[in-house]
Structure formats: structure tokens, C-alpha cells
Structure 1
Amino acid sequence: MQRHRDDASVLVPGIDAPSTVACLRSLHPRGIRTIVGSESRSTPAASSAYRDEFVTLPDPETELAAYGDALLSLAERPSVRTIVPVREEDVYVLAKHKAAFADEIATPWPDFETLRRVQDRVELFAAAETAGVGTPETELLDQWTDWNRETIVKPRYTVASPTYLGARFEDAEIGSTVYQRPGTPPDEQAVIEKRGHTPLVQERIADSREFGFFALYDRGDPVATFQHCQRRGWEYCGGPSAYRESVHIPALETAGRALLSELEWHGLAMVEFLRDPSDGEFKLMEINPRFWSSLPFSVRAGADFPYYYWQLAMDEPIRSEPTYEVGLGGHLLRGELSYLHSVATEEYPLVDRPSLGAAVREVATSLVTHPRFDYAAADDPMPFFQDGVNLVRAWLASRSNEDPETERDVETAAAIGTEIGDGSTDSSETGSPADGDPTRSAQTDGGSRSGSRPR
């Protein structure tokens, strides 16, 4: 049973993506005390004017069990009413131990068996077929035979954990999506050995624009929905969102609702689709069962999902029908820089690369036409600057891998990042122990690091 709380607080994990900051900016002005928990003091949310408290947590990528224990310990505080999942590890531990969390706080997220149907793409695509939702032609690697087509190889699971990989968890690398040139089949046994499981092969949908159906569900019923079309990703082939526009497409709404109804979904979901140019049908890519990295844009367009989530958790009615404005655009500036960098320096075998000049003009035009930014806000500027420092630090770190002489620059940037992260006032900080099982996440929404190797 949930205890009655007089001093309402919410715990939001702090990550590199803007979703944490969006939650703070939505909930804090409504009198809800905000707690940011993270393994890194340089997370942009730590410097937000809308953050009341910062708590140091174990790194869930290397200490998953300890991370879950720390979240449960915070949930036992009398003032904490719920926890907001913003990355795959968050929802994994919250669903895995939902009964324990339900004794302390509101739990507006799916149970673990439902979550497994989403994190195992074989089960997810089976659910999509039952729901009548389109999917790309997909088979396990050892069952695919037509290598003369354009294909991609991707992990079967969205989270690497002992639950899915079993004994191979300690030494396997779940990997990420890989494009396959026609006529060049991969070494099947080598791929399976390296990834620790049999990955999936999919036909490639020849359109890099991603369509997102975003939703909050209450035990199978939609509370609020939103749609956007991703016009640019971090790379010119796609990836996390750099620029997107709000849309309302009935066929996309129908597909997203049909799948979530089939799953009897509860909580947050980003359902990702590509539109097949051969027939115009929306084809399912994956579901992210948490807040998405472009959440600030959803809120700016009028879909205040953090507040809807809080209302659902508190059993409060949403007094007006949730609506949003169609035709707006929004940017993550770091993502735009990454996009231009990929155009200038990278090559993907199955995707035509635009000219650098055309790419620069396209980005510049949209910045002027749609001046909405995920981090930049006049009343809360520090997360934007901290994100910039983090970008410089990451760039210098990548250079140091090639040139040892840049290590001093990396250390200097790290010190600057710490100063910005500690710049806010009237906050408290709490530490947590760190020990436990690791996990690794492969995802496309920018919510966490991918492909890391835990110990």
C-alpha cells in the first residue's frame, strides 16, 4: 500500500539527454519537489534552476543491482511519490521489482512480463502481427537467406542483461544496428559468438525519416498521445533526434494505438515507425518504454507528458483533453552539430549522403524558421551551457584516443564541467553505495550510452 505523503517529491534520473530537464521544468513550477539522481554530477539537469536536490547514484550500466537498490531506498523516503523512467535501465529495474516499489510509491509503468514483450523484438513483432501493425520483413540471423537485398543486422534485445543473454552476458557485446551491403552476408557464427545471442536481420526501409507515436497509457487505455516526424538525426543516416516536426497522421495514430492496446500497455511509450516508400505503410521499428530524448519538444508543442505522468501517478484527473500544435519544429543543437559532422566526415553504405553545403543551408533555414531548442531557455540557461561543456569534453576525449597530448585539455574541460554542474544553490547532495550486476543498453533514442563494456 502506498503511504500518504504531505510533501510531494519526484525522483528523475539524470542523463545526458534533455528529457530529465524537461521533467524538472514541467513539475517544479507546480510545487512538486524535484530530486535528480545520477552517477555523474555533470548531467545537465544537475545545474537546472528547477532542480531541488541532487543525489549520487551507482552507474546502472555497470552496477545495475546497486542502482535498483538505490532507487528503492529513495522510494522509501516519506516525501517521494513516484520515479520517472528516462532510460532503458530505469524501466528495467522498476519493472523487475515493481512489487517492492509499489509498497512505497505510485508505479505507472508496465510489469516485467509486459516489458519483456517490448525488449525482445521477436516477441514485439509477433505482437505487432497480432495487432495488424506492419513490420519490415524480419528473421533471426540463422534463418535469413536472401543476402542480395539491402538489409540491416540489429540486436534481438534492447537491453543486455543476464535475463536475456544468460551465461554469455559477461563476455558478449550485444552490439548495435549494422548496415549490410547486398551480396555481402556476414559471418553468421562469428556474429552470434561476438553478440552472445542470435540477432535479427531486417529488410532495409529506404527512408531515413522516423515517425514517432508517443503515448501515456493507463492499464490499456490512452491518456495522451503525440506524434512527430524526425527530419534529421545525429547522423545523416538517422539515429537520435536532432530536428523534428510535430504532425498528426491518422494512420500513424491507428498503428500506435493498435499495438499498445494489444500489449495492454501501462505507462510511457515511444513507438517508432518508418514509412515504407513502396506502399506508404508505417512499419514498426521498436518501442522505447520510457521518456524520449526529444521530450522538451513534445512539451513545447503542448503535450505536457511529465505533468500527465504525475497526474496518472497521483490518480488525478486530466481536466482537459490533451492537445498539441501541429507543424512546429524543434532542435537539439548538439544533434545538429553531430549531423553536420557526419555529413562532412562519415559514410554509410546504403544511404545517400547530402552535400555539405545543402546540409548547412537546411539546418540554418530550420533554425531561423523554427527557433525552439531542447536545452536553451532564458529562465534556465545552465543546462544548455553544461551540455555544451559535455560536448567539448566528449570531443576532446575522442581526440585523446588518437593523440595522448590532448589529455591535459580533457582534464581542463572536465574541471570546467564540474564547476558548471555545481553552480546552482540551495541544494543538497546525497551519496549511495555502488555494487551489483551490470547491464548494457542498445537503443536509438539517445537516452543512454550504447555499446559500453561493463566489468
Structure 2
Amino acid sequence: MRILVLDGNENQAVACVRSLGKAGHAVFVGADSSWSKAGWSRYCRGSFRYPGPQVDIDAFISRIIEEVRREEGTLVLPMTERTTLPLSGARDLIYAAGGKLVLPDHKNVLRAFDKQQTIGIARSLGIAVPETKLIMSEREAAESAESLPYPVVLKPRSSEVSASGRIKAAGRPLYASNKREFLKAHREMSARSVSILVQEFVEGRGSGYFALMREGEPRAEFAHRRVRDVHPTGSGSAVRVSITPDPVVREAALSILKGLNWHGVAMVEFRIRPDGTPVFMEVNGRFWTSLPLAVYAGVDFPRLLAEMAELGDCERTSGYRENVRCRWLLGDARHLVEVMRGAPSGYPGRFPNRWSTLAEFLLPVRGAFHDNFMLSDPFPEAGDWLDFGIRKLFPRLLKQTSIERIDVEGRYSHS
């Protein structure tokens, strides 16, 4: 089968290309840039570039349709919300062009990416959720500031939002320990998102449940324990190990996915309180960044998803290897840098020790796998570092230098 893997600079794209290429599929990688790390894999048949949906949704859809029309039955696999949302909304055009998607109906895609709605679903099922308040204006923020259960976390209602023909990123969570910090954080976040969730801060460790669903019924499942996160505040795993799913987490996650009548892959995130209670956080209705670990442990989600797309269903997996460890080297380096910088403003939780983090980074565990590096397919790892340096780090440094130059010029122009 011909398969288009989008968002080629994501770790999950690399894992998909390797898995599907080894399974004999003709895999082509798309990205909104001239090259991508997944496109550098030996298992990639070819690459193509599309206009990013963050620039022009219609142009993005037109380019994907152009690729789909090259061969009847082409499967399109988006890796992020940024590409999943517009493709889901334009599914009739994809189908008319002869393409395939593995997604639930669009209404449930929108529900899954709406944190307010998924919190409501979890609460209705009797699953523990953080105390949550939806704030839609600066006036509501001011009125709520006195009564909030500090410390709190501010999150955009949806990570990606559609506006003016583009997909816009709403930004990362912010933290506040008091009224002043809350109002400052709200002003900052409201510039990117109209709807903001304010939640109690849940102390504990992150836990994820991962599944491939067929119309609300599981076909494959996986769980891991996070060892280190890219962001020490708890976002994106840098090092993690495969575990047996916690029965309570599994039951809660499956209840939510069944409530969404989910079709395709999804990740359900929880925080485990110190007393062992799982607290629901959110649903990610797409492939997740730490996908390589599941594949290494024996749950080949990409291959199973392709089988479902091609045949209508797939074999149900019954187990996998536990205690398999996997590391995202660049993500772990970013974790180290953030720990050395110290806890962000308003963050109330425990923060890693600098020296123990440095020791853990420098003393890797024997037998651990890597998200992007393989001796037989080394170039995606190089592409990962190059992508981060050229497209993320360098522009950030350039912007910082420009701000400092303006500040210096401004001070001396008055002397």
C-alpha cells in the first residue's frame, strides 16, 4: 500500500516510516520544509513538501489531495493536531480523491482535542479529574482570581485552533501560585487562546495509556512509565520504560475512548497522585512522540493501523515486553538544559536536582533503545539535531540578539 506519513520532523514519523517500510509498504514522507528527519530514513521511498496548515489550510489540503491522486487507496497518516484537524475536516475531499484516513467521525475528533469536553466526559464516567474552571475573558479572570485553589495550571482549551484559514498553536501551560502570577499568566496566554482552562495543580507522576481502537473497541494497547520528561514540569517524555498497564488507568482510559467511539490510535494522559489515584489530564487523538518505545517493545501500532486501513480490521495484540527502555537523546539534552536553568516562574511542584540530572544524562543505561538512532538507519538522528539547531534554536537566538540590540540602541539613543 502507498502511505503518506506527514509531519516528517516528528519522532513518531520516524517510527512510522521504519515500521511501515519494513512491512513492505511504499512510504512517502511529507513536511512543511524542504527536508525532514523521517525523509532521511532508508525506509522512505520519497519526500514531498506541502504548505503548512499554520499558513494556509486550503493550500495544505490541495497539496495532500495532489499526492493522494497519484495512486488509488493511498493512506494518509497525520502525526500532529496541526495536520489531523484540517484533514479530518476535509475528509470527504480526501475520500473523493481515492485516499484513506483512519479517524473517528469529525465531531469526535473535535471533542477529543477539546480539553474542556474530555474533562466533562471523564467526570461523567466517575473518573477523577482536576478541579477545572473555563475562563473566556479578562473580566472573568479578574473575578475568579481571588477564589482559585492556588497553585493552578493555565492551559489553552485546545492545543491547536483554527482561525482565519490557518491552524494556530495555542502554546504550552503556564503556572501560578498566587493572584498576581495568575493575572500575568492569563494576559500572556489570552494573546494566543480565547478559551483558557484553569486547573488545580496535581502533584504526582505522569502516566500514559496508548491504544489502537476500532470503532470504540481496543485492538492493541501499551503503557509506559516516564523516567524523564523533555520539560521537567511534565510534558513530553525524554526517557521512558515499558510497563504493564495499571488496571485502574486502563479501565478509565478505555471508558473515555469508548465514550468517544474512537477509531484509530490515541494516547490518554493521567497524573498519578502520591496516594496512587489516577487523575485524567487529556486525550491525544494521534500518534504520540514516544511511539518508538511501543514498537521496540513489540506493539507495532503503525503496521496494525495500516492493516486496519487496508483490510477493515487487524489482529488483536495480547502482550509485549516489559522493562524496555527508550531514550530521545535530543529531548533528554533539552531536559538537562531546563533543569540547569531552574524551575519556571510560579511552578509549585518538585523540580529535579541539577547534579543528579547531569549524572543520569551522562551515564546511559546499557541496552536502552533510541527514538531516532539506529546503526542500520542513522540519518534521522542527525536530522533531529540539525532540525532543532536550524529551525528552532538559531531563530530563537537571532530573535534574542535582535531584542538585546534594540534595547542597547534604545538606551544609548537617549544619552
Q: Is 2:102–2:309's contact at 8 Å kept on the other side of the alignment?
A: yes
Q: Helix, strand or coil for the counterpart of 1:161?
A: strand
Aligned residues between the structures: 389
- Offset from partner CA, 1:310-363 (integer Å, 9 cap, x none): 011012654463421122211000011001101112322323333321112223
Match of residue 448 from structure 1? none
- CA displacement at 1:226 relative to structure 2: 0.7
Match of residue 232 from structure 2? 236
Match of residue 65 from structure 1? 58
TM-score normalised to structure 1 length: 0.80
1:212 pairs with 2:208: yes
- Between 1:243-252 and 1:175-184, the stretch displaced more is 175-184
Q: Distance between the aligned counterparts of 1:192 and 1:390, measured in 2? A: 27
Give structure 1 stretches of 5+ with no counterpart: 1-7, 405-455
Q: Helix, strand or coil for the counterpart of 1:223?
A: strand
Q: Helix, strand or coil for the counterpart of 1:186?
A: helix
Give structure 2 stretches of 5+ with no counterpart: 403-415
Structure 2 counterpart of 1:359, from 357, 360, 371: 357
- Aligned-partner residue type, residue 258 of structure 2: S
Q: Helix, strand or coil for the counterpart of 1:314?
A: helix
Q: Is 2:174–2:185's contact at 8 Å kept on the other side of the alignment?
A: no
1:158 pairs with 2:154: no
Q: Is 2:324–2:368's contact at 8 Å kept on the other side of the alignment?
A: no
Match of residue 375 from structure 1? 372
- Aligned-partner residue type, residue 275 of structure 1: I
Q: Distance between the aligned counterparts of 1:309 and 1:73, measured in 2? A: 23
- Using a 3 Å threshold, how does the CA distance of structure 1 residues 275 and 171 change in structure 2: closer, same or farther? closer
Match of residue 33 from structure 2? 40
1:392 pairs with 2:389: yes
Structure 2 counterpart of 1:140, from 113, 127, 134: 134
Q: Name which structure has the greater RCO, CA cutoff 8 Å, separation 6+.
A: 1
Give 1:260-279 correspondences, 5 Å limit.
260-277=257-274, 279=275
1:328 pairs with 2:324: yes
- CA displacement at 1:201 relative to structure 2: 0.4
1:29 pairs with 2:54: no
Q: Distance between the aligned counterparts of 1:262 and 1:80, measured in 2? A: 29
Coordinate RMSD, CA, aligned: 2.4
- Between 1:28-37 and 1:187-196, the stretch displaced more is 187-196
Q: Distance between the aligned counterparts of 2:389 and 2:17, measured in 1? A: 25
- Aligned-partner residue type, residue 310 of structure 1: A
Match of residue 430 from structure 1? none
Q: Distance between the aligned counterparts of 1:401 and 1:23, measured in 2? A: 34
Q: Distance between the aligned counterparts of 1:288 and 1:175, measured in 2? A: 15
- Between 1:118-127 and 1:139-148, the stretch displaced more is 139-148
Match of residue 117 from structure 2? 123
Q: Is 1:110–1:265's contact at 8 Å kept on the other side of the alignment?
A: yes
Q: Distance between the aligned counterparts of 1:35 and 1:386, measured in 2? A: 17
Q: Is 1:330–1:370's contact at 8 Å kept on the other side of the alignment?
A: no
Q: Is 1:220–1:266's contact at 8 Å kept on the other side of the alignment?
A: yes
